[in-house]
Amino acid sequence: MPAASLEQLASLCKRRGFIYPSSDIYGGLQGVFDYGPLGVELKNNIINSWWRANVYARDDMEGLDASILMNKLVWKYSGHEETFNDPLVDCRACKGRWRADHIKGKCPSCGSSDLTEPRPFNMMFKTAVGPVADSDSFAYLRPETAQGIFANFGNVLATTSRKLPFGIAQVGKAFRNEINPRNFLFRVREFEQMEIEFFVMPGSEEEWHDRWLEDRLSWWESIGVPRHQIQIYDVPKGDLAHYSKRTYDLMYNYPSLGYEEIEGIASRSDYDLGSHSRDQENLGLSANVSTNRDSVAKLTYYDQANNRHVVPFVIEPSAGVGRCFLAVLSEAYDEQLVKEPAADKVETVRTALDAFVKSVSRSEKLSGEQRDAIVAQAEHVSADLANRLPQVEQLLGMPGADGIEVGKKLRGVAQPVVDEFYRTVLHLKPHLAPNKVAVFPLKRNHEGLVGLAKGIRSNLQLEANMRTVYDDTGAIGKLYRRQDEIGTPFCVTVDFQSLEDGSVTVRDRDSMQQERVLASELEQYVREKSR
Ligand code: GAP
């Protein structure tokens, strides 16, 4: 069951250390986030899975890691200086600034319709290179990783023995000065992209475009984002980016947002290599490019069979790591009733919930909008309280709810029931899970149990290269819940029998079944079960 809302995911991410707001101690910076201890593991696992599928599992791909800062001429000839704009409007009433295509003629902050005419706003960040900041010394932070690949096309061709078709893959940071960053990780100002520029013979681009669409959908499936959650949007001609001949946008069904772009697969023709080449008039380009008198290179390929130089066409699958991270979490998210709570316990929570709703309705600290939103959510939870009890925590996290005094009482009665009868679980694919294994000693002050548990941890982590954590800070049941919530596929308990026969209990995250396995065979066991 995917997550119900972005708030639910954001709350888990903050509570468990997946994501923090950047520079939190100074009030944050809008549109920028940090990946915490679990977030960095999940993010790296996503990137590794992408790299493995697109570079190692194919024989037509090279990797690259180009610099973020590039000569500013790159951005002139790529077309970004002129066209990488969003339409900006100002609200004359409250001075808010908005992206014209994200609002419906009204200021989302104050509701006024007194807006300026839209004007173009270039989204590239500028910085100064060298000690003197003048009009010539600036450079841009790259708004896409793609141009580093195009600028290196000739280098890669000259230093490898590649023949068309082949691709260059890259993962790296990109920066966009979004007018309204919003929706948690979905629209941010600093993010990572996983991009491929796949170079093909002119004339074969349509076939390759469709092949890449299939390949990319298979990869999404392999990381737990199923096809039925993705719509393919064939972008209409009038909405295409300046470089694109045709683009398929993969639209994922995000909680709270609905179908939004997670990846673009563009057919970029010979636009990029042609734009960055000299002597364009002799290249027989199909794309409409600006005259280039600055480049020292001809980004062409020698087609031996036909004894001619061609400018390859390009297919570009381009996905954002953050948007992928959100989709993976959303698909994995589940709240499960482990055993039915006794009716009187549910009723105690209902009484506290009713008192909370009454207090919210009377509160003068809340705006009308906040009050209506909280009451609507409380009614939703109350309508099926036994199954929705874990949602009380999200209710209490809604804007304004923390100022309601009886909310503390509600949390106080709901939390123990949630802890006892429910679990939040991330059914992450094992290869993506931040921790592969968690190891617990049955008793934390028993030298033999602790020593064996710690030995298993370091063996799996260092010898088998599986992220493994040790925990002895609670009862085993509580430790299981803690690991379920962050998606750890296997929990290992070391008990007194382990000291006698070397076996341990392994508990499976999804089935919650336990079996005894020899500690010496754990690595193989985990590998087999993770396939
Ligand atoms: N090189 C082509 C390119 O950059 P794009 O559609 O602008 O195309 C590709 O971006 C992907 O990068 C998007 O599908 C999205 O996943 C991600 N992305 C773009 N802007 C983003 C932003 N402001 N915040 C988070 N991810 C973003």
In angstroms, what is the span from residue 319 Cα to ligand 1's centroid?
Answer: 6
- Find the 244 Cα to ligand 1 centroid distance in Å: 14
Tell me the three state secondary structure of residue 84: coil
| Separation of CA 406 and ligand 1 centre (Å) | 43
225 membership: H or E segment, kind and range:
none
* Residues 147-181 pLDDT 10s: 999 999 999 999 998 999 999 999 999 999 999 99
Look at residue 1 and tell me whether its pLDDT is greater than 80.
no
pLDDT tops 80 at residue 511: yes
Amino acid identity, residue 143?
P
User: Is residue 262 within 8 Å of residue 327, measured between CB atoms?
Assistant: yes
Q: Is 206 in the pocket of ligand 1 (CB under 6 A)?
A: no
Find the range with the poorest average confidence among 277-286, 305-314, 362-371, 478-487: 362-371
Q: Which of 142, 179, 192, 193 to mutate to test the pocket of ligand 1 (most atoms within 8 A of CB)?
A: 193
Lowest mean per-residue pLDDT among 86-95, 285-294, 457-466:
86-95
C-alpha distances in Å from residue 459, one per residue of 139, 444, 462, 466, 471:
47, 19, 5, 9, 16
Distance CA 423, CA 333 (A): 11
What number of other Cβ atoms are within 10 A of residue 139's Cβ? 19
Q: How far apart are CA 452 and CA 448, in angstroms?
A: 6
Alpha carbon distance 226, 493 (integer Å): 33
Question: Do residues 270 and 313 touch, judged by C-beta distance below 8 A?
Answer: yes
Place of tokens 């430790």: 479
Under 8 Å between Cβ of 430 and 483: no
Q: Which atom of ligand 1 is nearest to the CA of 188?
A: 24
* pLDDT value for 134: 82
- Asked if 339 and 316 count as a contact pair (C-beta separation under 8 A), the reply is no
> pLDDT tens digits for 176-205?
999 999 999 999 999 999 999 999 999 999
Helix or strand run (H / E) with residue 303: strand 301-303
Measured from the Cβ of residue 356, the count of other Cβ atoms closer than 10 Å reads 26
- Cβ of 319 below 6 Å from ligand 1: yes
pTM of the model: 0.92
- H or E stretch covering 411: helix 406-421
Best of 249, 262, 316, 323 for a ligand 1 pocket test (most atoms within 8 Å of beta carbon): 323
Query: Any alpha helices (H) in 152-200, and if so which ranges?
Result: 153-159
CB atoms near residue 274 (< 10 Å): 24
Average pLDDT on 74-89 reads 94
Q: Is there an atom of ligand 1 within 6 Å of 191 CB? A: yes
* pLDDT confidence of residue 132: 84
The predicted structure's pLDDT at residue 163? 96
pLDDT of residue 3: 86
